[in-house]
Every structure is written in structure tokens, then in C-alpha cells.
Amino acid sequence: MTTEAAGSSREGLSFVDRLFERLRAEPRLQRYAVVRPHPLLLSIRSDSSTIVLLPAAVWDGARHLLQPFADALSNGSAALLVAGRPRDPDLGGAVSRGLASLLSEHPSEDELLVAITAAFELLDARGRAESRGRLLSRYRYELGELIEISKALSTEREIDKLLDLILEKSRFITGADAGSLYVVEGDDPDPLRRTLRFKLTQNDSVEFDWREFSVPVSSRSMSGYVALHKCPLNISDVYDLPPRSPFGFDPSFDA
């Protein structure tokens, strides 16, 4: 290590020592967790977001210390605050690598508060934008699948192919690796006099032989309950049904 580098390291260490105590003593920052992942770095955390505060000397000559934060900086859950003026003139590139703001060489408590708050707000805004982007992409995908079903309803003449397509697209939309389709048979005004035919099943995880069969429309089975009450069921664990459930679960195969 050169004399200049050693001096910068000692100066940076002394700076981080003082800054660490100031941040922990600042009452307006008590809602954040301030830790010291390295003698030359400070980490300020809030929920799933992290701000890394470092002296300019670290950015110029010891950037490898940021490696543990590389993934977080890349996915937008972390940002950097650099105190002082880095010698690196490529600040545009620094922004793309997670730099949120430059601080003065000896920032005041007010300057630190504003910079840290703004950095967390920036991360929050980025997170919301990415979430909206994912939701929009998902919406476009689901809309495309529904359009495919609507086209098939008007063009496909073979009922078995149509049902197979409807079940396949429904699984894609819901992200289900398996699904079954039941058809209500009969036109009796009393739904309890109708039957429910197990018409089709698809399973990407398990291969098994199956054949069509019929069960009564009743609340004793999950499928019968849905057909009778015309309402969806969303059960997180069929092996742990809610108390007093009218239906049961057959672990070998649910009807």
C-alpha cells in the first residue's frame, strides 16, 4: 500500500467512525437501522431497502468493498451515498451503478437526513415502477390468453379440443401446474338433481391414467360445492381444511 493510499484509508476510517456515531445519535434517523458492515462503510436499512454510505476515497480506490451489495444495487433495492468528491469523472456511470447522491466532505446532520430520506424515496419509487411494469406485462399476457379462448369459442367445432384449450389457457393464466374441468349435466330446476361429470384433467407434474366419471352436485365434494353455490373456493392447504367444512378431501383424488 502506498503512503497516499494508507493515509486515505486512515482518514476514511476516522471519518466513518465519527459519522457512525452521529447517525446513531441523530433522533430523526431512529427509524432506520444503522450498521457498519465494514470499517469503511455504513449501511442504513429500512424494511427491504439499503443505503450504503461511503467516503469518496473508497469509491476511488476500494470499490471492491461494495461487492456484498452488488446484487442489491443491481436489482434496485440498494443505493449509494458518497461523501466528498470522487476523482472518477464518470458520474453518469456511477449513477447507473447505484449512486443516489453526492454529499459534502463533512455533511451536516440536516444534509444527511435529506440525502438519506431522498435516497429511500428514490428506491421506493423505483420499486413501485418495477411492480407496475410487472403487473402490466402480466395483464397483457393474460389478456392475450383470454383472446385466444374467445377466438376458439367462435372457430373451434370440436368440443373436446375446445375444452382442452380452455383448461390449458386457464392454467397458464393462474400459474397452475395442474387443473381439471367438470361439466354440469342435466337441466332439472333443482341443481341437486343434476350431475357433475369429470371431463378433462391436465397435470404437468404427475402422469396418471384417468377416465370420465360422474358425481352428484352436492356440497360434499369441493367441485360439487362450487357447482351448487356458483362461487369459487380458494383453499391454501386441502390437508388442513377449515373447521366445519361441508366438503372433504380425498387424498387419492379429489372430486
Q: Contact, 88 vs 59, CB < 8 A?
A: yes
Enter the pTM of the model. Answer: 0.57
Distance CA 242, CA 238 (A): 9
CA dist list (Å): 66 to 85, 144, 202: 18, 42, 48
Collapsing DSSP to helix, strand or coil, 152 comes out as helix
What one-character DSSP code corresponds to residue 32?
A: S
Q: What is the pLDDT along the chain (255 residues), one digit of tens a residue?
A: 454 444 455 665 788 888 899 999 899 999 999 999 999 999 999 988 999 999 998 988 888 999 999 999 988 899 999 999 888 766 666 777 788 999 998 899 999 999 999 999 999 998 888 888 888 888 888 888 888 888 888 888 888 888 888 888 888 888 888 888 888 888 888 888 888 888 888 888 877 777 788 888 888 888 888 888 888 888 888 888 878 888 877 665 554
How high is the pLDDT of residue 112? 94
How high is the pLDDT of residue 3? 47
Q: Which CATH number does the domain 3-129 belong to among 1.10.8, 3.40.1350, 3.20.20, 1.10.287?
A: 3.40.1350
